[in-house]
Amino acid sequence: MQLFYEFLPIVLFFVSFKFYGIYVATAVLIAITGVQFIFSSFWNRKIDKKQLIIFIVCIFFGGMTLYFHNPLFVKWKPTVVFWIFGGTFLISHFFKKTIIQRMLEVMMENKTEIPVAVWKRLNMAWSLFFILLGSVNLYVAYQFSTDAWVNFKLYGVLAALFIFSFLQAIYLARYMIHKP
């Protein structure tokens, strides 16, 4: 359910683009991201930093697209978000607990013991993945049509995240030792 919630703006952007074009799709993206941020903040009674970053970047780059009537700005949005996430993962590498360790330990409810070195490798892999994904997004944005970029944004990014998450699960499965 969480995955659907996080990809809802991308799906609505995609559908809006196919029917109404890039500028309506950009407005829809800004609106749905804002609604998600507000809903999440009230529902959880706290501000989700990830959603705040996405919302701010979306308003800035989406607003620039609408103001200047230039789709290149909204094409930069995923790259900026991916690079922020990649940089954040990279910085967390130098702390006692990495971001990926904090996120997955909560999901695993501390029922496993995974070595710190494994968490560090996995965290670095996510950092590099996000940086690479942002770079690929720029390549597609500049080398292909807007229609191809929108298709990549939905299908390519979703597939890349799914495959990388699946590989992460396989990698972690080797190290999972259940606590009594």
What does each of the 180 residues of the chain score in pLDDT, given as a tens digit?
Answer: 466 678 899 999 999 999 999 999 999 999 999 999 998 888 888 888 888 999 999 999 999 999 999 999 999 999 999 999 999 999 999 998 999 998 888 777 766 778 889 999 999 999 999 999 999 999 999 999 999 999 999 999 999 999 999 999 999 888 776 655
Helices (H), the chain: 2-20, 22-44, 49-68, 72-92, 99-108, 116-143, 146-151, 157-173
> Are the beta carbons of 48 and 56 closer than 8 angstroms?
no
Quick check: helix, strand or coil at residue 21? coil
Closest CA to 126 of 168, 175, 158: 168
pLDDT value of position 178? 61
CA distance 140 to 137: 5
pLDDT value of position 179? 57
User: Residue with structure tokens 């995609």?
Assistant: 14
> Are the beta carbons of 63 and 30 closer than 8 angstroms?
yes
* Cβ neighbours, 10 Å, residue 49: 9
User: Domain boundaries in the chain?
Assistant: 2-173
CA distance 165 to 104: 12
User: Residue with structure tokens 């944005």?
Assistant: 141
CA distance 142 to 72: 8
Q: Rounded to 5 degrees, what angle do the CA atoms 150, 155, 161 make?
A: 120
